[in-house]
Chains A and B, each alone.
Chain A
Amino acid sequence: MQASMEGSNDERSGMRGVRVGSPAVSVRGLTKRFGDVTAVEDLTFEVQPGRVTGFLGPNGAGKSTTLRMILGLVGPSTGTASVVGMPYRDLESPARTVGAVLETQSFNPLRTGRNHLRVLAAAEGIDDGRVDAVLDLVDLSAAGNRKAGKYSLGMRQRLALAGALLGEPSILILDEPANGLDPLGIRWLRDFLQRFAAGGNAVLVSSHQLGEMEQMADEAVVIYRGRLVRQASMVEMTADGSISLEEAFLEMTHGKGIA
């Protein structure tokens, strides 16, 4: 795969619509209840430009629900989630601001990969030429005219990532993007996200693959049972490398550190 840089910045801030020093994503007191079940409770954290922020927690911790609240797909019970200072649905051009991958299977399996992206491009007002560029970027050009339902899990993941990159966004929000990728693909993803962030863009990536996140992320937000456990830099999280992220994570979630 090609590891070319994506994301577009303006001269003022390094990110579209973001003032210098302002968070790319801000979550304040976010709570979501599904009936009697509280999936997310009073969650507060920020994602800064120029950094890869890992969003960590065990299965069922509330990571996906939180990401969906940030993206306006799930309505919070209380609290707010904003992207570049406003709710996602108020963004003038959402796909040109945020690229998101929430599910591996988020396309009509009878549609070709290229046509799936052309459908998204039309909705986002993006030229069809960009479709070929992102297919090339994720190394799916040769498979672009095959039905997406015939893709392997890794190819589906890359197709979803291509969709997220269509609008050349300055923020990426990815839910378990490494699932299904082979080691080469994981390495490509890591390099890509780090370069993306180094260009002044923001990345929020959820995962429970702690070894991978330790290498990929600059900062980590750890949640457990819907509540924030800790937000810190990876250096602080691992005590300057003296313990692994896995050890730190287990200590926080099963030890004494639950906030």
Chain B
Amino acid sequence: MKQQIVSEFRKLRTTRSAWSLLAGTLGLIALGVVAVLWESNHTTLAAPLADQPVLHIALSLTWVFVMILGLRSFTDEFRNGSIVPTLLADPHRRRVLAAKLAAVGAAAVLFTFAVAGLTLAIWLPWLAAKGVAIDVAVAPLAVWFGRLLLIDLLFAAIGVGVGLAVRHQVAAIVGSLVVITVVENLMDAMAPSIARFLPAAGAWAVAGLGGAFMRPIGGALVLVAWAMGAFVVGAFLMERRDIV
């Protein structure tokens, strides 16, 4: 198992794909943070931590990129044929799946730390430059970071499972993005009682942005259910499918 995890880490490190995705995430976060700060007045900047829109940027965007990283972990291998040597080296498919989950999960932690660090690195100096003094307590920041990390880890698992189940890279990525951006919005308009159990709604709830529809713990349970569902379906299909 350890060997397979080391191999999966090497896969992530030795192409530009994961690094490009991280760079894209950081670039978009930086743009979002700067845009929000640019538009903020003194009152907004001085708001309590829980109401700081600048902290919502990371909670709203990072998981999408982590999910794509997860989706690509298997779809890349099916796309370029490297799934064959991967399964020849370790024919125990569930072990390969677990190793991928561990590697993508670790990458999700890296993404979370990088995004959180970048957000604070822009936000705090900005406040100082504007002469805004707020109480930056550790506890609310830790809650913010914890929510960010939880969402990212669960979407990493969802991405790995969905990518394994779908296998076709374009279908997996486009389909997932369509679900979270289009289908969930349509469902929210037509059947909000069902829409709150969809993945993006779960992320909003964990982030504390779900309004009255669902509390963070409910959102976490929704995401855990989606992650487990995607993982179980992926593992089931992985065991049964022929690699032709």
Contacts and interface: CB of A to CB of B under 8 A. Distances in A.
B17 interface: yes
A249 B97 CA distance: 43
Given A95-B88, A106-B81, A74 B242 contact: yes
A74 B243 contact: yes
B89 A120 contact: yes
B89 A124 contact: yes
B98 to A, nearest CB: 13
A119 interface: yes
A94 B243 CA distance: 17
Given A89-B92, A122-B7, A106 B242 contact: no
B91 A88 contact: yes
A73 B92 contact: no
B189 interface: no
A108 B8 CA distance: 13
Nearest to A124: B89
Contact of A108 (B15, B88, B240, B244): B15
Contact of A94 (B7, B76, B88): B88
Contacts of B244: 65, 68, 73-74
Contact of A68 (B4, B86, B92, B242): B242
A123 B6 CA distance: 7
A72 B90 CA distance: 10
Given A74-B244, A119-B7, A124-B3, A163 B85 contact: yes
Contact of B89 (A75, A94, A115): A94
Interface stretch (A17-25, A97-105, A218-226, A227-235): A97-105
A130 interface: no
Given A73-B243, A120-B7, A122-B7, A108 B82 contact: yes
Nearest to B10: A119
Contacts of A74: 242-244
Interface in A104-149: 105-112, 115-116, 118-120, 122-125
28 contacts: A68-B242, A71-B91, A73-B84, A73-B88, A74-B244, A75-B240, A89-B92, A94-B88, A94-B90, A94-B91, A95-B89, A98-B88, A100-B88, A102-B84, A103-B84, A106-B80, A107-B80, A107-B85, A108-B77, A108-B80, A108-B82, A111-B14, A122-B3, A122-B6, A122-B7, A123-B3, A123-B7, A124-B90
Interface of A: 65, 68, 71-75, 88-89, 91, 94-95, 98, 100, 102-103, 105-112, 115-116, 118-120, 122-125, 163
Given A95-B89, A111-B14, 20 more contacts: A68-B244, A72-B87, A75-B240, A75-B242, A89-B92, A91-B91, A94-B88, A102-B84, A103-B81, A105-B80, A106-B82, A106-B84, A108-B11, A108-B15, A109-B80, A118-B14, A119-B7, A122-B10, A123-B4, A123-B89
